[in-house]
Amino acid sequence: MEDRLIRVAITHGDTNGVGYEVILKTFEEPGMLELCTPIIYGSPKAAAYHRKALNIESNFSIISNAEEAQDGRVNMLTTFDEEVKIDMGQPSTEAGEAALKALDRAMTDYRAGLYDVLVTAPINKNTIQNEMFSFPGHTEYIEHCIGDGKKALMILMNGNLRVALVTTHLPIKDVAKAVTKEAVIEKTRIFHETLKRDLRIDNPRIAVLALNPHAGDNGLLGTEEQEVIAPAIEELEAEGIQAFGPYPADGFFGSGAYNRFDGVVAMYHDQGLAPFKALAVEDGVNYTAGLPVIRTSPDHGTAYDIAGKGVADENSFRQAVYTAIDIFRNRKNHDEPMANPLPKLYHEKRDDSEKTRFAIPKAREQFKREEKQQKEE
């Protein structure tokens, strides 16, 4: 158990969107303060404006640095003193600048070890752009700032479905070129380790989707499945990773085949996110895996169309907080025993790679038999 409550840093996102609404609604519930200590990186003035306009009964304590945060309170950390014009539902450069100031301060404080996990409210990827921020989104910026050279993996998840992306914020015309054997292998390896370490799934089964319709139809509709994805899966299998596919995305989700796997690797953004959001409805969470920092966010955007109307559902944001806390605990429980492993008291004749080589094929054969039987039924 932790000696103190987990410190959750929260960046306020775009000040003209639903960020403050879902944040303040989440912490209206007193029980949330028994789980964690929230530190909201933002503007007390902007927060007070949203609170009054939306008639939200949520109090916060204003602090100037994260060290001042107290348990049992919603801590509002002032990241800038300037007035920011609030124009709910309207994109503006000013709102983008406010989002970046909060995010930058959170990056600095993470490096100083001032919080445990990070939850980000939605930003507008266009208005936040300037000479300091030239990234397609949160994921890439956080990887650049505090990734320590590690590669990030974007995962959308809820209690039943976990979808990871090989490529993220790319135009469709650039996707095929970016889907390389090396990229599929790298992202699937990160996913496999994330499922084991962060989600405590011992021997995860991972489905890998095809890029082209009907998985290319033996090269008629594209050759990436034969030349890139299938060879990547074979190499992953040789490493002891239970990777299966490539599966055509439409039939895979339409038939409910995803229920037989612990995770799904999609080749591009909408291939994974469209079915995920249709199935997850309002409890989806975006998790940036593969980095030292634990970062989650709700699976929706700024929602300008409903900003200021008081109708934004905070459930996805609340689930993002819960998920970050769960992953923090899972990592701790996974890493602590590994730090000081007990010495072996016997000599193992076969090394670990040999044990894996014998064990995984058996598991794969059994799974394929089950899969064939389900198709026949």
- CB-CB neighbours of 203 under 10 Å: 14
pLDDT of residue 281: 77
pLDDT per residue over 242-265, tens digit each?
Answer: 999 999 999 999 999 999 999 999
Q: Which residue has the tokens 């489905």?
A: 207
pLDDT tier at 138 (50, 70, 90 boundaries)? confident
Q: Is a pLDDT exceeding 70 seen at residue 26? A: yes
pLDDT tier at 368 (50, 70, 90 boundaries)? low
Q: Is a pLDDT exceeding 80 seen at residue 377? A: no
pLDDT per residue over 308-341, tens digit each?
Answer: 999 999 999 999 999 999 999 999 999 887 777 6
pLDDT of residue 355: 46
Helices marked H in 159-268: 172-178, 181-197, 224, 230-238, 249-254
Contacts of 220 (CB under 8 A, 6+ apart): none
pLDDT per residue over 343-366, tens digit each?
Answer: 655 555 545 544 444 455 556 666
Domains of the chain: 1-149+291-341 (3.40.718.10), 151-288 (3.40.718.10)
Q: What is the pTM of this model?
A: 0.89
Six-digit token string for 262: 């612990």
pLDDT of residue 354: 46
Six-digit token string for 97: 């600048």
CA gap 78, 101 in Å, rounded: 10
pLDDT of residue 192: 98
CA gap 92, 274 in Å, rounded: 27
Whether the CB-CB separation of 98 and 83 falls below 8 Å is answered with no
Q: Is a pLDDT exceeding 90 seen at residue 375? A: no
CA gap 45, 81 in Å, rounded: 9
pLDDT of residue 358: 47
